[in-house]
Structure 1
Amino acid sequence: MISSWRRRRAARREEKSEHQNGEIELTVPREFRCPISLDLMKDPVILSTGITYDRESIEKWVEAGNFTCPLTNKVLRSLEPIPNHFIRKSIQHWCVENRSHGIERIPTPRVPITSMEVSDILSKINVSCKRQDGKGCRILVLKIKSLAKESERNKRCIVTNGAGGVLSGAFQAFSVAFSIDENVDVLEEILSTLIIMFPLDVEAKGFLSVSAMKCLIWFLSSGDLSRRRNAVLGLKELVSSSSSDNRRKVKELSETEGAIEALFKLIKDPICPTSTKAALLVVYHIITLSSTKQKQVRKLVNLGMVPLLLETSVDAERSICEKALGVLDGICNSEEGRQMACNNALSMPVLVKKILRVSDLATELSVSILWKLCKGEMEDHGSVVLEALQVGAFQKILLLLQVGCAEKTKEKASEVLKMLNLHRNKMECVDPMDNFKHLKRPF
């Protein structure tokens, strides 16, 4: 009698508890939980101390600079965790048994790549480059690309072991050898894999010289959309650097035949927002850092960049609008650029509209461009200033000064306001308060 009561009591203890809504709550066995996250382990691994953790949790622990076992506090003899296949199979079996309760079976995880395996593949890529074995190199690069896409952990391991430098060197080697047409397949594959490794370090960028730049421009001018997108992202990575070598890269790019035309075409016929932003950023670096920027600005103006930038800014998203205004601001440093902007009917409406509408940066750039255009027109008949008054620039600038802005922008806005005020008597400006004259004021 007593034994049967004990059995019933044990059965009640093992019985699954129920929520208030009637749903069954399953208790995950303690040995299946990660000691760090306390969640069901998806990829159990065992450390040199004999304790099993979920791979993601223990890797985060080690990456944070900890080299001891979280439970035992013993120093780890090895940082390479070993898959615990027994626990993993037990967890999968438990999941299958409880699938009727909504438990999904965890997939068998792939063993992540090791530093030794990465080094081996990269050394083989170097050998293939020396032999000019494009086919063999492409197969190895595809393997690296596949492994990097498999998991974030693999990608970190590949990048840490210097894949960016090896791939940059390979791209440079095959862009020099023979002709781009003969190596287009391997170059395209290297470039698409290299983009996964961004941002590149200074050493990796150093491998890419003039021939690599010409190859990227050739890709940018070709009809393949994916190739053009990858090429402009590659160019953006090359010129977007704070290193002293950046100006040299920009100079090489600006002097590469067909570069300006290819970038203009990409902005005019956009592929995607990412490529448009990248193209605008590259153009911005060319017109601000290049030693031949006046020549490049003249070329852009002749291509029709000013009206294109204004049209792009009309309904563009914030990031594209800021970059387009940044390029326009750079172009307006030249006489040709200002003249083209002054002659465009969209200039004043777009610039005034963007003030206090998009972002602080867009406001600063709009005021800067407006200041350059109005200042250049003061010696003439002031047609631009009158046009700015007609679209409400006076009220907008006045509001900006009341709201507040950066000191540099404030100085330019004040100058613009003075210039606008000088011409207010030449046209009928409606005071916005006139619309409310009929209302009785309570003060």
Structure 2
Amino acid sequence: MMISSWRRRRAARRAGKEQQGNENGEMELMIPRDFRCPISLDLMKDPVTLSTGITYDRENIEKWIESGNFTCPLTNQVLRSLEPIPNHMIRKKIQDWCVENRSFGIERIPTPRVPVSSMEVSDILSKINVACKKEDGNWCRDLVVKIKSLAKESERNKRCVVSNGTGSVLAEAFEAFSKASFDENVAVLEEILSALTIMFPLETEANGFLGSVSSIHCLIWFLSSGDLSRRQNAVLALKGLVVSSSDGIRKANELSEMEGAIEALFKLIKDPICPTATKASLTVIYHMLNSSSSPNDTKLVTKLVNLGMVSLLLETLVDSERGMCEKALAVLDQICNSQQGREMACNNALSMPVLVKKILRVSNLATEFSVSILLKLCKNGKVEDGGVILVEALQVGAFQKLLLILQLGCVDNTKEKVSELLKLLNLHRNKVECVDPVDNFRDLKRPF
């Protein structure tokens, strides 16, 4: 009797109510057996029936199937179909039972939304293809809004939408409408781009459509427009192209040659709209620099330096979280491959204190980038400086930080750079008294 009472009490708790005991201490209400999911034994909120005729709660049976099981958990029969069918009759009975027992604290389960099926997704995608062929932007936009709404409704819907090739169809539609006037198709292009961000990362075929010349021109146009969400979606799409695409290096090279691209990316960093967009911009610029066949004194570096990227990166590094720091340092490291970039960094009062501060303070990656930049500045500075850069590095505590790196351990490549830096700095230690690393930049005179 005690075990039976405990089981009833547990079942009642699963039903989501507070129960009252009778004189014998037993529960007065039990969940009907047909209303419980055979997997969890909980009250079903969205009952669905398999091809074997057994009814389960949708969430539980979908987890079972997604785990790679293709049999009915109760009967062990092989499933003829993996698409469970909503059992409206059982669901209605459960709702009625909840209403009848509301005095016990039972809340009526809401009528669940029916998840989208592969057939429904395929039907919408077919209509999008037809709308593209007819160049009907309004119809296409309505269809994209519909499929985006379905994808955002639940994680299950999103998986169904993505798995049916929606990314490729939308990317192809984006390319098709981008070949016409941007002004005429801005509404549908904006809606398609917004929907595509839900599908990231895209597959190779989708990246091919989104990486076409007309599509990239459209993305740059969006990147330069005043609409904030449009600009954010555009930079996320460009990031996907240069990072996830199998042809990312070529795409990054093409992007660096396109008029207005670097200026628009720079503006997103200078006048940030959100951290996500800023980090995406830094990532795109890094890949553009990294893909360059001639890293020294390239047109791209010259353009970035003239825009004021070095000062902007150093200002960004003063107070930023780990991800932002790593990306800003990565871009600065690439820029310092050129003589022009190094000269600009050497002339900036923030360079040495900021770089030394970031060592061992952010992450291993940030330390590696900081050491790399320091070596480039100290080793390749102008000869006529007479060791000014090295002395400045010593003044902000670089020597102690570098020794600490060796004591704590680091990767071989960084270890070699640290050893070389220590040798360079040691030649000038007699010129200055080393101090603790500078952690406060308020008293420094900034060049902007």
Q: Please, what TM-score do these two structures have when normalized by structure 1?
A: 0.90
Alignment-mate amino acid for residue 53 of structure 2: G
Is the counterpart of residue 122 in structure 1 residue 125 in structure 2? Answer: yes
Contact 1:217–1:231 at 8 Å: present in 2 too? Answer: yes
State which of 408, 417, 430 in structure 1 corresponds to 2:413: 408
State which of 129, 132, 135 in structure 2 corresponds to 1:132: 135
Residue 222 (structure 2) aligns with: 219
Contact 1:301–1:340 at 8 Å: present in 2 too? Answer: yes
Alignment-mate amino acid for residue 277 of structure 2: S
Is the counterpart of residue 229 in structure 1 residue 241 in structure 2? Answer: no
Aligned counterparts of 2:292 and 2:381: Cα–Cα separation in 1: 27
Aligned counterparts of 1:182 and 1:400: Cα–Cα separation in 2: 58
Residues 1:103 and 1:342: Cα distance change in structure 2 (over 3 Å): farther
Residue 428 (structure 1) aligns with: 433
Residues 1:103 and 1:276: Cα distance change in structure 2 (over 3 Å): farther
If asked which structure has higher relative contact order (CA below 8 Å, sep 6+), I would say: 2
User: How far did 1:229 drift?
Assistant: 0.7
Contact 2:204–2:245 at 8 Å: present in 1 too? Answer: no
User: How far did 1:399 drift?
Assistant: 0.9
Residue 404 (structure 2) aligns with: 399
User: How far did 1:290 drift?
Assistant: 3.2
Aligned counterparts of 2:267 and 2:6: Cα–Cα separation in 1: 72
User: How far did 1:298 drift?
Assistant: 1.1
User: How far did 1:219 drift?
Assistant: 0.4
Alignment-mate amino acid for residue 86 of structure 2: P
Residues 1:268 and 1:53: Cα distance change in structure 2 (over 3 Å): same
Contact 2:47–2:87 at 8 Å: present in 1 too? Answer: yes
Cα deviation per residue 1:366-418 (whole Å; 9 max; x = unaligned)? Answer: 11111111111384411111111111111111111111111111111111111
What RMSD over aligned residues (CA atoms) do the two structures have, in Å? 2.2
Greater Cα shift, 119-128 or 91-100: 91-100
Equivalences for residues 177-188 of structure 1 within 5 A? 177=180, 179-188=181-190
State which of 48, 52, 56 in structure 2 corresponds to 1:49: 52
**Unaligned 5+ residue runs, structure 1?**
1-11, 433-443
State which of 377, 389, 396 in structure 1 corresponds to 2:394: 389
Cα deviation per residue 1:230-277 (whole Å; 9 max; x = unaligned)? Answer: 11111111111251x222211221111100000000000000111111
User: How far did 1:37 drift?
Assistant: 2.9
Equivalences for residues 308-387 of structure 1 within 5 A? 308-377=312-381, 379=383, 380-387=385-392
Alignment-mate amino acid for residue 19 of structure 2: I
Alignment-mate amino acid for residue 114 of structure 1: S
Contact 2:201–2:244 at 8 Å: present in 1 too? Answer: no
User: How far did 1:60 drift?
Assistant: 1.8
User: How far did 1:90 drift?
Assistant: 2.4
Residues 1:365 and 1:97: Cα distance change in structure 2 (over 3 Å): farther
Cα deviation per residue 1:2-23 (whole Å; 9 max; x = unaligned)? Answer: xxxxxxxxxx99996999xxx6
Residues 1:170 and 1:292: Cα distance change in structure 2 (over 3 Å): farther
State which of 166, 169, 178 in structure 1 corresponds to 2:169: 166
Aligned counterparts of 1:323 and 1:15: Cα–Cα separation in 2: 57
Residue 202 (structure 1) aligns with: 204
SS at match of 2:48: strand
Aligned counterparts of 1:113 and 1:225: Cα–Cα separation in 2: 31
Residue 445 (structure 2) aligns with: none
User: How far did 1:29 drift?
Assistant: 3.6
Aligned counterparts of 1:54 and 1:15: Cα–Cα separation in 2: 20
Residues 1:53 and 1:313: Cα distance change in structure 2 (over 3 Å): same
Residues 1:361 and 1:39: Cα distance change in structure 2 (over 3 Å): farther
Aligned counterparts of 2:258 and 2:171: Cα–Cα separation in 1: 19
User: How far did 1:92 drift?
Assistant: 2.1
Is the counterpart of residue 260 in structure 1 residue 262 in structure 2? Answer: yes
Equivalences for residues 41-190 of structure 1 within 5 A? 41-177=44-180, 179-190=181-192
**Unaligned 5+ residue runs, structure 2?**
21-28, 438-448
SS at match of 2:380: helix
Greater Cα shift, 161-170 or 247-256: 247-256
Contact 1:191–1:230 at 8 Å: present in 2 too? Answer: yes
Residues 1:64 and 1:427: Cα distance change in structure 2 (over 3 Å): same
Aligned residues: percent identity?
75
Contact 2:397–2:436 at 8 Å: present in 1 too? Answer: no
Contact 1:232–1:279 at 8 Å: present in 2 too? Answer: yes
Residues 1:414 and 1:102: Cα distance change in structure 2 (over 3 Å): farther
Contact 1:386–1:420 at 8 Å: present in 2 too? Answer: yes
User: How far did 1:98 drift?
Assistant: 4.1
State which of 247, 250, 263 in structure 1 corresponds to 2:249: 247
Alignment-mate amino acid for residue 403 of structure 2: L
Residues 1:161 and 1:242: Cα distance change in structure 2 (over 3 Å): closer
Residue 24 (structure 1) aligns with: 19
Greater Cα shift, 230-239 or 25-34: 25-34
Cα deviation per residue 1:318-367 (whole Å; 9 max; x = unaligned)? Answer: 10111001100111111111111111000111111111111111111111
Greater Cα shift, 94-103 or 143-152: 94-103
User: How far did 1:32 drift?
Assistant: 2.4
Alignment-mate amino acid for residue 24 of structure 1: Q
User: How far did 1:101 drift?
Assistant: 4.7
Greater Cα shift, 200-209 or 89-98: 89-98
